[in-house]
Amino acid sequence: MKIIVCGGGQVGFSIIRYLSTQENDVTVIDHSEEVINRISRTMEVRGLLGFASHPDVLVRAGIADADMIIAVTQSDEVNMVACQIAHSLFNVPLKMARVRSKSYLSAEWSALYHSDSMPIDLVISPELEVARSISRTLEIPGAFAVIPFGDHALHLIGIRCKGKISLLNTPLRLLSSLFPELEWNVLFIVRGDAGFVPMGTDQLLEGDEVYLLIPQKKLQEAMGAFGFVEQQSQRLLILGGGNVGLFLAEEVEAHHPSISLMLVENNKDRASYVANQLTRTVVLHGDALDREILREANAKITDKVVAITADDKVNILASILAKKMGAGQAMALINSASYSNIVNSLEIDSVISPQSLTASSILQYVRRGRILSIHSLRDNFGEVIEAEAMGTSNVLGKTVEEINIPRSLMIGAIIRNDQILIPRDDTVIKIHDRVILMVTGPAIKRFEKLFAVRLEYF
């Protein structure tokens, strides 16, 4: 695909990195020469210096025959205008814009993005995606990721193996006999700095991060098998009152009425603003690294601390400090990949990656085939994809064994007429099956060929 990305900041850089590794023709527009030079040095993309909302700059970027424009500059208005120009003047098929302002994101104004007004196919809000992602984990204590598939019939959950549990050091092919009632499938394992799609002979080791696909009704039993038996979190402490912190507090107030919520914000004016926006959240003005503030915020008895300030280093240190004070779990928002690589050696339970969540939203539009949902695993390890087998898909009539030929592709589950199937090697894919797969880089093209839909383009 020919794709124009407007904005080479943290979010833009991550998107470009994902897209450039999949044989896309990518052009990047940014008004900073330093940003353009950095991107051009590190990736095989074309860099263009200029303002993304200027028609002449878009023309030089090749907008006339582009398949997609992704506008992720720091300005909501520039992003919107770039998409409007792409539609009105050049009829670009797919238009995506990063929108940060809460006012623009309000459901009250959702009609703004219709095709007859401001035609944006996907509104990207990394802050809102992060808030929703964290909110989902509150229902499953012990999980660092909870992603729904199949209209919430299945969930992909991320768990870190801790302690002495019977699952460890046991070949995966034997787990079904140890826990026959769970109907689960291990899709991916992260061990140290590396990740891999497991085989039946592989074993789980202490410290592994495991991505497990399991039916919704079996979630609590699965967590129990991994040693997590506590119920939903009752106390949550948010460190940072920026857009992410405010969105998260609003999510918790709206969807988790039983959770006691506190928020710490270092800027006095911002703390006052956030307090006025929320109804039952206790907002404290103070430094997330101040022990006295954390004591006042009851970090010692808090079930989960979420450090989501604008500073990665503050988030890492505050998470460690809260854990040492007695907090049950600690999550840290980290934008820089260089920091995320050292977290496994620290007392932090999970890392929140805005870039990974943003990429997941975009990849659903980039992948060819009838894609229903997609989630990118951290550090570009791979993608969990839910795809529908259409009448002309090459996957029809093939067994799971035939499809799972490359080590880098694995079918985790099939939804057929509201029935969840954990597939065996001889399971045959039928029309309209909803297939959930784990796909890593080398197998992306094979996946697209298997699920490609002729006479239809997504």
Task: Write down the mean pLDDT value for the chain.
Answer: 87
**What are 394's two structure tokens?**
């090459």
pLDDT computed for residue 456 by the predictor:
44
> Model confidence at 166, in pLDDT bands (50, 70, 90)?
confident
Helix-helix angle 126-137:354-366, to 10 degrees: 110
Average pLDDT over residues 350-366: 79
What pLDDT score does 54 carry?
96
What is the rounded average pLDDT of the residues 217-240? 84
Answer yes or no: is pLDDT of 448 > 80: no
Can you tell me whether residue 301 is helix, strand or coil? helix
Strand partners, 154: 149, 215
Over range 33-56, report the average pLDDT: 93
Amino acid at 430: K
Distance of alpha carbon 397 from alpha carbon 456, whole angstroms: 20
The predicted model gives 34-61 an average pLDDT of: 93
Q: What is the residue whose two structure tokens read 């040693």?
A: 227
What pLDDT score was predicted for residue 111?
77
426 by Cβ neighbours in 10 Å (0-12 / 13-18 / 19+) ranks as exposed
378 has a pLDDT exceeding 80: no
CA separation for the pair 150, 387 (Å, rounded): 10
CB atoms within 10 A of CB 64: 11
Say which amino acid occupies 190: V
Query: pLDDT tens, 241-293?
Result: 999 999 999 999 999 999 999 999 999 999 999 999 999 999 999 999 999 99
Spatial CA neighbour of 228 closest among 172, 174, 178, 157: 157
Residue 292: exposure state from Cβ atoms within 10 A (0-12, 13-18, ≥19)? exposed
Q: DSSP character for 417?
A: T
Q: d(Cα 388, Cα 433) in Å, to the nearest integer?
A: 6
Question: For residue 233, which of 331, 328, 315, 130 has the smallest C-alpha distance?
Answer: 328
Task: Give how far Cα 402 sits from Cα of 49, 201, 306, 346, Å.
Answer: 47, 19, 43, 41
Q: Which of 150-164, 298-312, 368-382 has the lowest mean pLDDT?
A: 368-382
Mean pLDDT of the region 191-218: 89
% pLDDT > 70, the chain: 94
Instruction: For residue 358, give the nearest of 156, 71, 76, 89 by alpha carbon.
Output: 71
SS3 of residue 261 by DSSP? strand
Looking at residue 90, the DSSP 8-state letter turns out to be: T
User: What is the predicted pLDDT for the residue at 242?
Assistant: 93
Q: For residues 225 and 163, give the distance between their C-alpha atoms in angstroms, rounded to a whole number.
A: 12
CA dist 96 and 235 (Å) reads 36
Give residue 365's pLDDT band: very low, low, confident or very high (50, 70, 90): confident
pLDDT tens for each residue of 99-114? 988 888 877 777 788 7
Tell me the pLDDT band of 233, cut-offs 50, 70 and 90. Answer: low
Residue 232 — very low, low, confident or very high, per pLDDT cuts 50/70/90? Answer: low
Question: Taking residues 14-42, what's their average pLDDT?
Answer: 88
Q: 90: pLDDT confidence band, cut at 50, 70 and 90?
A: very high
pLDDT at 318: 95
Classified as helix, coil or strand, 97 is strand
Output the pLDDT for position 83: 95
Model confidence at 457: pLDDT above 50: no
Which domains does the chain carry? 2-124 (3.40.50.720), 235-352 (3.40.50.720), 357-451 (3.30.70.1450)
**What distance in Å separates the CA atoms of residue 159 and residue 228, rounded to the nearest whole number?**
10
Both structure tokens of 412: 């985790």
Q: What is the DSSP letter of 377?
A: P
pLDDT of 18 over the 80 cut: no
The 3-class secondary structure across 115-173, one letter per residue, is CCCCCCCEEECHHHHHHHHHHHHCCCCCEEEEEEECCCCEEEEEEECCCCCCCECCEHH
Mean pLDDT value across residues 182-206: 88
The greatest distance separating any two alpha carbons of the chain, rounded to the nearest whole angstrom, comes to 64
**Mean predicted confidence (pLDDT) in 440-458:** 67
Q: What is the amino acid identity at position 98?
A: R
**Which whole number is the average pLDDT over 353-373?**
76
Contact between 58 and 90 under an 8 Å Cβ cutoff? The reply is yes
Confidence of residue 19 (pLDDT cuts 50, 70, 90): confident
Contact residues for 41 (Cβ-Cβ < 8 A; gap 6+): none
Of the candidates 18, 13, 8, the residue with the CA atom closest to the CA atom of residue 52: 8
Query: What is the SS3 assignment for 304?
Result: strand
Pair 52, 6: CB distance under 8 Å: yes
Q: Which amino acid is at 354?
A: P
